[in-house]
Amino acid sequence: MTAAPATPWTGRLAPTQLALRFCVIYFGLFCLLLTYIPFALLGILGRWIREYRGPWNMPITDPVTGPVGRTVFGVDAQLHQDSGAGDQTAVWVLVFCLLVVAVVGTTVWTAVDRRPSSPRLLAWFTLFLRLCLGGQMVGFGFAKLIPTQMPAPTLAQLLQPYGELSPASVLWLQVGSSYPYEMALGAVEVVAGLLLFVSRTAVLGAALSLACTAQILLLNMTFDIPEKLLASHLLLISLILLAPYLRRLADVLVRQRACGPLTQPALFTAARKNRIATWAVAAMGLWVALGSGYDRWVVWQEQSGAASPKSELYGIWEVRDFTLDGQLVPPLTTDETRWQRLVFDDPAQATYQRMNGELVPARAYFRPDGQLELASDTTGASERRPPFATLAADRPTPDQLLLSGILHDRPVTITLERRDPNTFTLRSRGFHWVQDYAYFR
- In this structure, the strands spanning 359-366 and 349-354 are antiparallel
Specify the pLDDT at position 440: 82
- Domain boundary (276, 304, 332) is at 304
User: What percent of the chain has a predicted confidence (pLDDT) above 70?
Assistant: 92
Residues 254 and 335 in one domain: no
Phi, psi of 231 (to 5 degrees): -60, -40
Specify the pLDDT at position 50: 63
Q: What is the mean pLDDT of the chain?
A: 89
Average pLDDT over residues 391-403: 95
Q: Are 264 and 126 in contact (CB under 8 A)?
A: yes
Q: Is residue 187 part of a domain?
A: yes
Q: Which residues contact 315 (CB under 8 A, 6 or more apart)?
A: 155, 343, 344, 418, 419, 421
Residues 247 and 274 in one domain: yes
Q: Is residue 221 part of a domain?
A: yes
Residues 295 and 341 in one domain: no
Q: Is residue 353 part of a domain?
A: yes
Q: Which of 191, 193, 202 is nearest to 37 (CA)?
A: 193
Q: Which residues contact 418 (CB under 8 A, 6 or more apart)?
A: 315, 316, 317, 318, 398, 399, 400, 401
Average pLDDT over residues 167-176: 95
**99, β-bridge pairs:** none
For residue 31, the enclosing domain spans 15-304
CB atoms within 10 A of CB 381: 11
**From CA 99, how far away is CA 85, in angstroms rounded?**
21
Distances (CA, A) of 403 to 333, 365, 391: 22, 14, 6
Q: Is residue 262 part of a domain?
A: yes
Q: Is residue 53 part of a domain?
A: yes
Q: Are 268 and 243 in contact (CB under 8 A)?
A: no
Residues 63 and 146 in one domain: yes
pLDDT in tens, 351-360: 999 999 999 9
Domains of the chain: total: 2
- Domain boundary (284, 304, 324) is at 304
Band (45; pLDDT cuts 50, 70, 90): confident
Instruction: State the CATH number of the domain containing residue 415.
Output: 2.40.128.20
**From CA 186, how far away is CA 190, in angstroms rounded?**
6
Specify the pLDDT at position 321: 96
Identify the DSSP state of 11: S
Residue 257 has pLDDT above 90, yes or no: no
Q: Is residue 39 part of a domain?
A: yes
Q: Is residue 360 part of a domain?
A: yes
Specify the pLDDT at position 3: 41
Residues 292 and 320 in one domain: no
pLDDT in tens, 149-169: 999 999 999 999 999 999 999
Residues 414 and 347 in one domain: yes
Residues 113 and 133 in one domain: yes
Residue 98 has pLDDT above 50, yes or no: yes
Residues 341 and 206 in one domain: no
Residues 127 and 249 in one domain: yes
**From CA 363, how far away is CA 348, in angstroms rounded?**
6
* Across 7-11, 206-210, 312-316, least confident range: 7-11
Residues 129 and 227 in one domain: yes
Global confidence as pTM: 0.87
**From CA 390, how far away is CA 383, in angstroms rounded?**
18
**From CA 394, how far away is CA 179, in angstroms rounded?**
36
Residues 144 and 276 in one domain: yes
Residues 338 and 380 in one domain: yes
Average pLDDT over residues 53-80: 78
CB atoms within 10 A of CB 84: 9
DSSP string, 282-337: HHHHHHHHHHHHHHHHHHIIIIISTTS---TT-EEEEEEEEEETTEEPP--TT-SS
Q: Which residues contact 183 (CB under 8 A, 6 or more apart)?
A: 144, 145, 146, 147
Of 7 and 434, the structure prediction assigns the larger pLDDT to 434
Q: Is residue 433 part of a domain?
A: no
Specify the pLDDT at position 391: 96
- In this structure, the strands spanning 371-376 and 315-324 are unpaired
- Domain boundary (280, 304, 328) is at 304
- In this structure, the strands spanning 410-419 and 315-324 are antiparallel
Band (15; pLDDT cuts 50, 70, 90): confident
